[in-house]
Structure 1
Amino acid sequence: MTDRPSGSEFGDGDPVIRDKRRIDPETGEPRESSESAEGTSAEVPDDVSSLTGPSAQEALLTEALSERTADLQRLQAEYVNYKRRVDRDREASRELVIGSVLTELLGILDDIGRAREAGELEGAFKAVAESLERVTEKLGLQKFGEPGDAFDPRIHEALLHNYSDEVDGPTATMVMQPGYRHGERILRAARVAVSEPTEQLPDTKAESTTDDDAEKSAE
């Protein structure tokens, strides 16, 4: 079919027939339809064309994979922090329980120490006492407090106080009861007698003179 000419031969209201065959009947070659191609590309929105094709699907899969990986890493970090907190709390509870048990045994250890000093730690009693001491040491109990130690109010409890020319500073010259610690925790402070240098002794002569002057002024 061929296009019908327009003009005077046909009226303005007559229909126009166009040849839409894709194969040219004269040459036998396919015809290029630029108008239809342009119309088709123009009718496809940019956002729709951008969402089609394997590259777009690959981008969506990559984004989803990144999100899932980030979620997995966040969950893993939360689990590690939770496990550390649980382990820390469990260890703290364990140390607290052991410290409480050892505190109850300090009186027995004091009796063993007094018996050893008196020479009465003999026979079966000696074996039992040494076994108990080994168990407490294995649990982390540490004994402290020796004559000559520098006085430290954080670990010493002063029961007696005097002055001496044989010390350069506050010194525990006598240990009345040893102290015990478990790790960083002080279960019992060492009870000691503290001596300070004689030069720190208050000036009693000056004090007595001041008292005499005050009495004379009152008279």
Structure 2
Amino acid sequence: MRDRRRIDPETGQVRPPDLDQDPTQEEAGAEVAADAAAGPGPDQPVVDQPGQEAELKAELDERTADLQRLQAEYANYRKRIDRDREAVITQAKASVAGELLGVLDDIERAAQHGDLTGAFKAVADKLVATLERVGLEAFGHDGEPFDPSVHEAVQHDTSPEVSEPTVTAVLRRGYRIGDRIVRAALVGVTDHEPGAAPPAAEAAPGEAGDGNDWFEPVDVDAAPPERGGNHRAED
């Protein structure tokens, strides 16, 4: 057994180093043994386990599906936001235009009586042009087919000269912005007379009115008749 004490207990002197034994060799051997017991380090390659590649592929497919679903949800969200924004804009335009319909009615009455001249006409034309730019469109013309979704019938008659319910009198012009009805048109409707022969010739499509002439003749001074069951157009 080797005595490794550096001081001799008998003489009290410091012993010279043992040149036959390198102390770093024992330390290196201890480190090698510890590394062997601890297993492979993080920088060392790990042997793939059976089925590990399939598990990684399944996880990748799952994450890809999640990403695609999120992208689809975001696209639908953007479409819904754009649609809601357009609806709000249209609603705002319709609200402002609705407040000006009374002014348009007065302008139309002035045009029918020949009073729309000079500076008054210039201002009226600018107002109409401005409302047209925001999408306001007038409708309700003699000869156009009756449409209960945009026309409000307050008079009803029959005639052999028409083959279907037709607008034959416009008491108040209607207006719309896009698909939104700002105000329905008050009209008189004429239906085909039962038992009468069909008309020989019908007006070509588009002759009833092109929707651009806001001030064509209309009986705006006539008061709408009392509404009742006998004055409503039959569906």
TM range (shorter): 0.5 to 0.7
Instruction: Tell me the CA shift for residue 79 of structure 1.
Output: 1.4
| Residues 127 and 55 of structure 1: CA distance in aligned 2, closer, same or farther (over 3 Å) | farther
Q: Choose the corresponding residue for 1:140, options 135, 138, 142.
A: 135
SS of 2:128's equivalent in the other structure is: helix
Counterpart in the other structure of 2:86: 91
How far apart, CA to CA, are the structure 2 residues paired with 1:150 and 1:67? 58
Counterpart in the other structure of 1:53: 47
Deviations 1:14-61 (A, max 9, x none): xxxxxxxxxxxxxxxxxxxxxxxxxxxxxxxxxxxxxx6147697255
How far apart, CA to CA, are the structure 2 residues paired with 1:91 and 1:103? 18
Counterpart in the other structure of 2:66: 71
Question: Unaligned regions of 5+ residues in structure 2, if any?
Answer: 1-45, 197-235
How far apart, CA to CA, are the structure 2 residues paired with 1:70 and 1:199? 65
Q: Choose the corresponding residue for 2:149, options 147, 154, 157.
A: 154
Structure (1 or 2) with the greater helix fraction: 1
Q: RCO higher in 1 or 2 (8 Å CA, sep ≥ 6)? A: 2
Residue 138 of structure 2 aligns to which amino acid in structure 1? K
Q: Choose the corresponding residue for 1:186, options 181, 187, 194.
A: 181
Question: Unaligned regions of 5+ residues in structure 1, if any?
Answer: 1-51, 202-219
How far apart, CA to CA, are the structure 1 residues paired with 2:156 and 2:76? 51
How big is the alpha-carbon RMSD for the aligned residues of Structure 1 and Structure 2? 2.6
Counterpart in the other structure of 2:106: 111
Residue 189 of structure 2 aligns to which amino acid in structure 1? V
How far apart, CA to CA, are the structure 2 residues paired with 1:76 and 1:172? 51
How far apart, CA to CA, are the structure 2 residues paired with 1:184 and 1:170? 22
Q: Choose the corresponding residue for 1:177, options 162, 172, 177.
A: 172
How far apart, CA to CA, are the structure 2 residues paired with 1:54 and 1:79? 38
| Residues 176 and 61 of structure 1: CA distance in aligned 2, closer, same or farther (over 3 Å) | same
State TM-score, norm by structure 1.
0.59
Count how many residue pairs are aligned between Structure 1 and Structure 2: 150
State TM-score, norm by structure 2.
0.55
Instruction: Tell me the CA shift for residue 70 of structure 1.
Output: 2.9
Counterpart in the other structure of 1:24: none
Instruction: Tell me the CA shift for residue 165 of structure 1.
Output: 4.2
| Residues 130 and 57 of structure 1: CA distance in aligned 2, closer, same or farther (over 3 Å) | same
Residue 95 of structure 1 aligns to which amino acid in structure 2? T
| Residues 83 and 196 of structure 1: CA distance in aligned 2, closer, same or farther (over 3 Å) | closer
Deviates more, 1:54-63 or 1:180-189: 54-63
How far apart, CA to CA, are the structure 1 residues paired with 2:59 and 2:193? 81
Q: Choose the corresponding residue for 2:115, options 117, 120, 138.
A: 120
Q: Choose the corresponding residue for 1:164, options 149, 159, 174.
A: 159
| Residues 129 and 74 of structure 1: CA distance in aligned 2, closer, same or farther (over 3 Å) | same
SS of 2:154's equivalent in the other structure is: strand
Counterpart in the other structure of 2:223: none
Residue 92 of structure 1 aligns to which amino acid in structure 2? A
Deviations 1:2-21 (A, max 9, x none): xxxxxxxxxxxxxxxxxxxx
Q: Structure 1 vs Structure 2: percent identity of aligned residues?
A: 51
Instruction: Tell me the CA shift for residue 197 of structure 1.
Output: 3.9
SS of 2:176's equivalent in the other structure is: strand
SS of 1:154's equivalent in the other structure is: coil
Instruction: Tell me the CA shift for residue 127 of structure 1.
Output: 1.5
